[in-house]
Structure 1
Amino acid sequence: MSAVQKRRLAFDGCLPCRRRKKRCDLRKPTCLGCERNVLICSWINAPSRETHSTHFGKKSFKSTIKVPDSSNAVVQCRQPSSVASCVLKSPLAFFLYQHWLERTGNTMSAQRGQLNSFITVLPRLALNYPDTILQSLLALSGVHYANRNPNAQVSVETWTRLGLTLRALKHGLTAHATPQKSIDPVPLLTTTLVLCFIETTRGDRGSNLLHHLEAARFLLGQLLSSSVLSLIEDDVVEFLKEFYVYVEGITTLTGPSTEDRTSLLPGAEFDSTYTIPQLSSKSPGNLLGCSQELFNIIPEVQMLAQRCQRQSTEALNPTGSTDTSVVVELDDEYQELHNRISTWLPPLSASPDFAACALMYQEAVLCHLETAFLPSSWSHSLIRSRLLHFISLLATLPVDSPISATLTWPLVGFGVLSMDHSHRETIYERLSNMWDHLRLKNIEVSMTFLRRLWMEDPVSLSDGVKTPCTLEVDLGSIMRKMSVDITFV
């Protein structure tokens, strides 16, 4: 090989080979080195630099992008990396990026304008980490677009981006689990959280979200304990913490118990004693509004509910014996926890929509706690009272309010409990309006679940107990009995 050819291999190679200071064989679209190392092969001078338009959008990249639906906010992005520029040269990729800024980013958040971290923080991270975060952002935008406007070309682009995301994530997680390597956890953590929302948006029925959530749990712990934490912008850290706490909180209330969850990350063991990070007043409220304190309590609620369930199972065992001290301890914990939740009030600075949504979450969490601890004959009247309050609060919240996108779990939870036809109609109508407005597939799946549940004979879901007041009301248990998996985030 001549000296000229060697120089050409060195200077005309793909970006990953340049960064790794390896010779590139110039094979396209994926060189041998990238294929062997499971890297995303990107080229700084390919495809053509010509700018042209298609019906999907312009091929050129603009570093300042106007966001029409965010009160004329303007997102000032950093100068994109070479890889990001190459990715966004694709007309379909640029179209999905624009769709994110105009529609998807606002659908995912309860905030608007500069307060919306899905528009201000996440695109900034995406342009800095194009191999992982940008690819996942484009995939999520594509899934969301397809829910409203099915399109074969967009679908191919979406699944291509998702495949690239998973390939890069697999490589990154494997490298992160290698003790000799030091890998930045920010792109891996952000990507796993975006993948959680991809599963939500496409109506995950295979518990795929749990796979991503376990990786996110490990990566967030690594990030918060790392020495580089102080070097990361505060808005990024708070955004990622709130993102994780929201997904973990809803999954904790409706998914399998932490004891049944196992780590899916190579080289990592699942730690059931892991403490979910506490949110501070700096939390942007993109997903929780003003409900941060309530979500900080959710892990305690679910742990107590699981202990109560185990105690009830042991009490029903004829050969078992009831430990009085355990019962007293559970009662004390219940009273203390119930008092903390019931006396909580939204901050005075909260907007009316945020306050109404927070109070609805308060009713839902209290209902979850009471049905787990109290005998069904006692909890029935409480359930009805909380349901009536929930319905009255729901009437005050416009369906197009950004925060209403987070109400899927409370709506389905109270839909399971409702025995009144008018209440069921109200809940179903709200879910239907949310589906029309937001186009998140998990809402449609939830509507199907409720229709099926309401058509079922209650006896088949209550272990033979016929009276409505003793109907099993644990949403997670009902879904497992009906062989249904719904992601409510």
Structure 2
Amino acid sequence: MSQGRRHSRTRTGCLTCRSRKKKCDEARPRCAGCRRNMLDCTWPNYVAWDGRGQTDTMQPLPDVYQPDNQKSMDHQAQAEVSPSLGRNPSIYTGDNRACALTPHSVLLLGHFARETVSFFAMTPLQNNPLLTLLMPLGYMDDLLMHSLLALGGAHLTHKNPTNMALADTTRLHYAKLLGGLRGEIAHLNDNDMQCKERLLCVLVITCLYEIVSGNTQGAIFKHLHASRGLILSLLDHRSTRNTSSTVNCETLSFSIELYRYLVFSNTLTPHGITPERSLPLDPFLANIGKPEIALASSLEPIFAGTCGLFRLVPLISVMASQRLNEESQGLDAPSPNLARMGDDIYNRIQSWRLDYRYQEGDGDRREQINRVVEMIRLGLYIYLKSALAGSVISDAADLCTIQDHISQLFSYAHKVLASQYTAILLWPVVIAGSCTLIPEEQNVLLHEIYSMKYGMKHMAIVGDVLQLLWKDPDPRAYGPYGLHFIMQKHGLSVGLA
């Protein structure tokens, strides 16, 4: 067979299109092909010709399962962990089987401790429960350690997309995690509260993994439903018996706060409109500070004192669902009863004040937290106004009011989105982004999302979904209802964390 003529391939497209052997339109920061297929769009930092038509940014590492190849790890991956190793090398060695699963597991752990934990808690590193509470427990618990390693790996592999060894290691830890969860849940003794508390902690970390890894098929909600069952059982048992001797109260409190955060942050659409995304509004979601679920520390490491505002999110979500029901019955405007409920929630948003006991440090930190509070408050105003409008917002006055809130929110965004409070700001930013009609604001928001310093995959997916929303001509493609409309239309179920 005669060989056809060889054609030279472009070397100026993104790495993802090159690896898929697809033509790249070279649009930055995300090319059209990566946006369309919900893929990472990565670009080489440099091009180093090796004489064979390859660049060293595309060369994969040796087989991750061969210990002799550990010395061949690239310098970039080594740099991810070396600062932490230098401070305390002993924590990365020892007998923990999860940490020793592959030669590259240590890199995942180092990245988790150095960068990933900072994203998910609004406290200084020395008070971060992911680092100070869960990591020490992980050294005594392989299943928990697999969850931490998988989470750190999901973050690290997104930042190093051509490193196949790190990707393989992450997948292996995730497989061990799922296999262990299935086995332990299948054989769980209903009276074993200690095991339930431990599995709850692993499950909520698994939720974070599903989001950070870029899962768009709703895997997080399956884990959240399982977590809810464990929480209800633990709280019921704790209210009737003294379980302090068998349950780690500090871990339980943090797991419940993380569950709340995940439920509130992923309440983006009217309640119940997408059954698999909807979780029951249990009392423990709203009863902040009740003795049976009081946090061991009053700092609220995830919410930074804003949980009282966030607990209004599901209430507005229920109102949105009720408004859609009224709309289906032919009501062009909210009923008097629903309008009164809206006024009540508006007043609660407006009158809520941050308890400064939750703040630490100097005035700059206090000023940042105040900006965070205002962004969440504005996000709630936008969510409430759009919820009362129904599936299509046609009233010009409502649109103007929403746009004013969006402009105010974005005026704070550039000052705090690069801070340690990024995670709890994703919900108001996405709500505002779903409603903005101004192209300049859309472009600025996309730039902020795609260039956030933490570089997590789910942020890029959020940017892609917002672009789908903005480009869709259907009048329903607007606001929280529009997010539901777009996700249903494209078969997506996006998670925030």
| TM, length-normalised to structure 2 | 0.72
Whether the 8 Å contact between 2:469 and 2:483 is mirrored in structure 1 is no
User: What amino acid is the match of 2:352?
Assistant: W
Q: Which amino acid aligns with 1:148?
A: K
Q: 1:260 to 1:237 in 2, by over 3 A?
A: same
- 1:189 alignment counterpart: 200
> Is the Cα–Cα contact under 8 Å of residues 346 and 359 in structure 1 kept in the other structure?
no
Q: SS of 1:226's equivalent?
A: helix
Are 1:462 and 2:481 an aligned pair? no
CA contact (8 A) 1:338 1:366 kept: yes
The residue that corresponds to 2:131 in the other structure is: 119
Q: Distance in 2 between matches of 1:134 and 1:311?
A: 48
* Cα drift, residue 107 of structure 1: 2.8
Q: 2: CA distance between counterparts of 1:487 and 1:274?
A: 23
Q: Does 1:213 align with 2:224?
A: yes
Paired residue type of 2:141: Y
Q: CA offset at residue 144 of structure 1?
A: 1.0
Cα shift at 1:152: 1.5
Q: 2:458 aligns with which of 438, 442, 457?
A: 442
Q: Which runs of 5+ in 1 are unaligned?
A: 1-46, 58-64, 264-269, 464-470
Stretch of structure 1 that moved more, 195-204 or 92-101: 92-101
For 2:31, the equivalent position in structure 1 comes to none
Give the counterpart letter for 1:391 in structure 2.
F
Shift of 1:163: 0.8
Mean Cα displacement is larger for which, 438-447 or 338-347? 338-347
Q: What code does the residue aligned with 2:466 have?
A: L
1:143 alignment partner in structure 2 = 154
Tell me how far 1:271 sits from its aligned partner.
5.7
Contact kept? 2:269, 2:317, Cα under 8 Å: no
Pick the aligned partner of 2:177 from 165, 181, 192: 165
Task: Kindly provide the amino acid, as one letter, of the partner of residue 414 in structure 2.
Answer: A
Q: Shift in Å at residue 129 of structure 1?
A: 2.0
Question: Residues 416 and 450 of structure 1 are in contact (CA less than 8 Å); yes or no, is this contact kept in structure 2?
Answer: yes
Shift of 1:133: 0.9
* Structure 1 partner of 2:368: 353
What's the TM-score once normalised by structure 1's chain length?
0.73
How much has 1:274 moved relative to structure 2?
5.9
Query: What letter matches 2:419 in structure 1?
Result: S
1:426 Cα offset (Å): 2.1
Q: Does 1:199 align with 2:206?
A: no
Q: Which residue in the other structure is 1:380 paired with?
A: 399
- Cα distance in 2 for residues equivalent to 1:441 and 1:276: 28
Q: For each residue in 1:262-298, what CA deviation from the matched residue of structure 2 results, as whole angstroms up to 9, or x when unmatched?
A: 99xxxxxx86656525333744433322311112222
| Preserved contact between residue 269 and residue 480 of structure 2 (Cα < 8 Å) | no
Corresponding residue number in structure 2 for 1:42: none
1:257 aligns with 2:272: yes
Contact 1:126 1:133 in 2 (8 A): yes
Q: Which amino acid aligns with 1:371?
A: S
Deviation, 1:205, is: 0.9
8 Å contact kept, 1:175–1:181 = no
8 A contact 1:256–1:476 mirrored in 2:
no
Deviation at 1:137, TM superposition (A): 0.8
Note if contact 1:75-1:119 (Cα within 8 Å) is conserved in structure 2: no
Q: 1:83-94 counterparts in 2 under 5 A?
A: 84=96, 87-88=99-100, 90-94=102-106
Tell me whether 1:400 sits opposite 2:418 in the alignment.
yes
Q: Note the 1:405-416 alignment, pairs <5 A.
A: 405-416=423-434
Instruction: Tell me which residue corresponds to 1:482.
Output: 489
Contact conserved, 1:93 with 1:157, CA < 8 A, in 2?
yes
How far apart are 1:390 and its partner, in Å? 0.3
What is residue 339 of structure 1 aligned with on the other side? 347
Give the superposition deviation at 1:424. 1.5
Gaps of 5+ in 2: 1-64, 75-80, 290-294, 360-365
Deviation at 1:307, TM superposition (A): 1.5
Asked whether the equivalents of residues 241 and 279 of structure 1 are also in contact (C-alpha less than 8 Å), the reply is no
CA distance in 1: counterparts of 2:468 and 2:274, whole angstroms? 29
Q: Is 1:293 the equivalent of 2:308? A: yes
The answer as to whether partners of 1:115 and 1:284 remain within 8 angstroms in 2 is: no
Aligned residues: CA RMSD: 3.6
Identical aligned pairs, as a percentage?
A: 18
Aligned with 1:107 (options 105, 119, 130): 119
2: CA distance, partners of 1:146 / 1:201:
10
Distance 2:443 2:277 in 1: 39
CA distance in 2, matches of 1:275, 1:355: 26
Structure 1 window deviating more from structure 2 (307-316 vs 353-362): it is 307-316
Could you list the per-position Cα deviations for residues 78-127 of structure 1 after superposition, in whole angstroms to 9, with x for gaps in the alignment?
x98x6x25743743222322221112222333222222111111212212
- Is residue 327 of structure 1 aligned with residue 335 of structure 2? yes
- The aligned residue for residue 430 of structure 1 is 448
Q: Say if 2:270 and 2:318, in contact at 8 Å, map to a contact too.
A: no
Separation (CA, whole Å) in 1 of partners of 2:476 and 2:424: 29
User: What secondary structure does 2:266 align onto?
Assistant: helix
Look up the equivalent residue of 2:256 and give its one-letter code.
K
Q: How far apart, CA to CA, are the structure 1 residues paired with 2:258 and 2:82? A: 25
Tell me the distance in 1 between the aligned counterparts of 2:410 and 2:345: 24
Distance, in Å, in 2 between the alignment partners of 1:444 and 1:365 is: 23
Give the direction of change, closer, same or farther, for the CA distance of 1:107–1:68 in structure 2 (3 Å limit): farther
- State the distance in 1 between where 2:349 and 2:421 align: 21
What secondary structure does 2:285 align onto?
Answer: coil
CA distance in 2, matches of 1:68, 1:367: 42
When residues 392 and 218 of structure 1 are mapped into structure 2, their CA distance, relative to the original with a 3 A threshold, is: same
* Aligned residues between the structures: 403
Change beyond 3 A, Cα 1:335–1:396: same
